[in-house]
Amino acid sequence: MKKLVLFFALAFPSLINAQIIPFDSNRWTIEAKESSVDYYLGKQSLKLKGGIAYLNDVEFLNGIIEFDIAISKVRGFAGGIFRMQDQSNYEDFYLRPHQSGNPDANQYTPVFNGISSWQLYHGEGYGAAVNYEFNKWMHVRIIVSGQLAEVYIMDMNRPVVIISDLKRKPESGSIGIKVGDFSPAHFSNFQYEISNPIIQRQNKSTVITELPNSINVWKVSNPFPETLLQDKLELVPGQILNWKLLDCEANGLANLARVVENIKGNTVFAKVIIESKGDQFKKLAFGFSDRIRVYLNNKLLYTGNNNYRSRDYRYLGTIGYFDEIILSLKKGRNVLLLAISEDFGGWGVMAKFPDMVDIELK
């Protein structure tokens, strides 16, 4: 009997000290367009649509979160949230039932200031192909330790997603579940354990070394309406802007939502000064989400649209070094201003030079 108990503990470590929280407990705060506690597929469950349910008395930094989820095959986004500071800042992992079996069947993304960033974080280490079982209970386990996390779906012996770089600063916060507006999901057997689990695996593909020649610091303005730049071929002094410094991630990505608060517009400037030793042409590769206007020394050089479904109905609008422009630099100080406009899915920019010969970034 002792050997059996030991095996059970090793195979299912979260069950030893887990707290199971029934959904009719007053520990839950539920804010959603639709919610109800009832029985579904033989279990007490919470039906949720268009909102979140979170535990209002938990400070979760590291540990294990588990729940059962039942979904249909229609388009939807449902899963778990953790380290929630408030309803606009947390870590998020959700299922996309309509993408069952595809590489983007699920998604890890940070949420900064109310902006989910799935267009910025995509591919291996952020989602994986899973064939879901519809209208049945599927078990989900999320193990969190520092900047690492593992996600298990149905098979508790093999993680489907290994996250080697959680994007938010590790801070204890609430935990819960979240469902988008498109279709409801049912949840049951929500449980958690605050502990210090050991994550053996790391996804080396998401541990990114610093990219050479990328712009790694931007000055980012306060937000303003995109319409202020409509038909503006040249910038002239006008609106007074406030600026914040934003460090980029190792691959050169600047997640603008990190520094954008009290949003009163959908556009910001990202600015960098280029000191050139002489008059020269320099190629710049860049990526953006969702739209961009490139100004060099206050003159418009380029506009682009990378919106979701902007090119065809399958186009996701994910970010990457997909565009290039030739900058005509003058000797001395050059001001590069990128106006980035956001609708949804991630507010970001990235840029790199092929080399740094005869230029310096300020």
Model confidence over 164-182: pLDDT tens digits? 999 999 999 999 999 999 9
Model's pTM, two decimal places?
0.90
Are residues 143 and 52 both part of a single domain? yes
Spacing of C-alpha 44 from chain mean position: 31
Can you tell me which residue has the tokens 């469902």? 179
Boundary of a domain, candidates 186, 206, 226 = 206
Are residues 301 and 342 both part of a single domain? yes
Are residues 252 and 154 both part of a single domain? no
Domain contains 6: no
Q: Return the number of other C-beta atoms located less than 10 Å from residue 151's C-beta.
A: 24
Given a cut of 90, is residue 261 above it in pLDDT?
no
Domain contains 2: no
Q: 236 or 339, which is more confident? A: 339
Domain contains 240: yes
Boundary of a domain, candidates 206, 233, 264 = 206
206-243, pLDDT tens digit by residue?
Answer: 666 678 899 999 999 999 999 999 999 999 877 779 99
d(CA 101, CA 98): 9
Domain contains 295: yes
Q: Return the number of other C-beta atoms located less than 10 Å from residue 138's C-beta.
A: 16
d(CA 32, CA 341): 28
Are residues 272 and 349 both part of a single domain? yes
How large is the average pLDDT for residues 74-101? 97
How large is the average pLDDT for residues 79-102? 97
Are residues 309 and 197 both part of a single domain? no
Are residues 43 and 170 both part of a single domain? yes
Domain contains 288: yes
Domain contains 16: yes
Given a cut of 60, is residue 13 above it in pLDDT?
no
Q: What is the pLDDT of residue 201?
A: 73
Strands of 172-314, DSSP E = 174-179, 185-194, 217-221, 243-247, 254-255, 267-276, 280-289, 291-296, 299-305
Could you tell me the residue range of the domain that residue 184 belongs to?
A: 11-206
Given a cut of 70, is residue 85 above it in pLDDT?
yes
The domain that holds 248 is classified in CATH as 2.60.120
Contact 293, 300 (CB under 8 A): yes
109-160, pLDDT tens digit by residue?
Answer: 999 999 999 999 999 999 999 999 999 999 999 999 999 999 999 999 999 9
Q: What is the pLDDT of residue 120?
A: 98
Contact 340, 305 (CB under 8 A): no
Are residues 66 and 132 both part of a single domain? yes
Are residues 171 and 229 both part of a single domain? no
Contacts of 180 (CB under 8 A, 6+ apart): 50, 76, 77, 78, 94
Given a cut of 70, is residue 107 above it in pLDDT?
yes
Contact 34, 47 (CB under 8 A): yes
What phi-psi label fits residue 306: left (phi over 0), alpha (psi between -120 and 50 degrees) or beta? alpha
Q: What is the pLDDT of residue 19?
A: 80
Please give the tally of structural domains in the chain: 2
Boundary of a domain, candidates 206, 239, 270 = 206
d(CA 300, CA 322): 19
Closest CA to 222 of 258, 271, 267: 267
How large is the average pLDDT for residues 256-281? 93
288-329, pLDDT tens digit by residue?
Answer: 999 999 999 999 999 999 998 888 888 899 999 999 999 999
Are residues 239 and 313 both part of a single domain? yes
Domain contains 260: yes
Given a cut of 80, is residue 278 above it in pLDDT?
yes
Are residues 222 and 269 both part of a single domain? yes
Are residues 227 and 309 both part of a single domain? yes
Domain contains 15: yes
Are residues 30 and 58 both part of a single domain? yes
Q: What is the pLDDT of residue 251?
A: 93
Q: Please provide the average confidence, as pLDDT, over all residues in the chain.
A: 92
Contact 100, 132 (CB under 8 A): yes
For residue 214, the 8-state DSSP code is B
Q: What is the pLDDT of residue 6?
A: 38
Given a cut of 60, is residue 14 above it in pLDDT?
no
| pLDDT tier, 2 (very low <50, low <70, confident <90, very high otherwise) | very low
Q: What is the pLDDT of residue 182?
A: 95
Contacts of 132 (CB under 8 A, 6+ apart): 71, 73, 95, 97, 100, 105, 138, 153
| pLDDT tier, 5 (very low <50, low <70, confident <90, very high otherwise) | very low
The domain that holds 130 is classified in CATH as 2.60.120.560
Given a cut of 50, is residue 9 above it in pLDDT?
no
Q: Which residues pair with 173 in a beta bridge?
A: 60
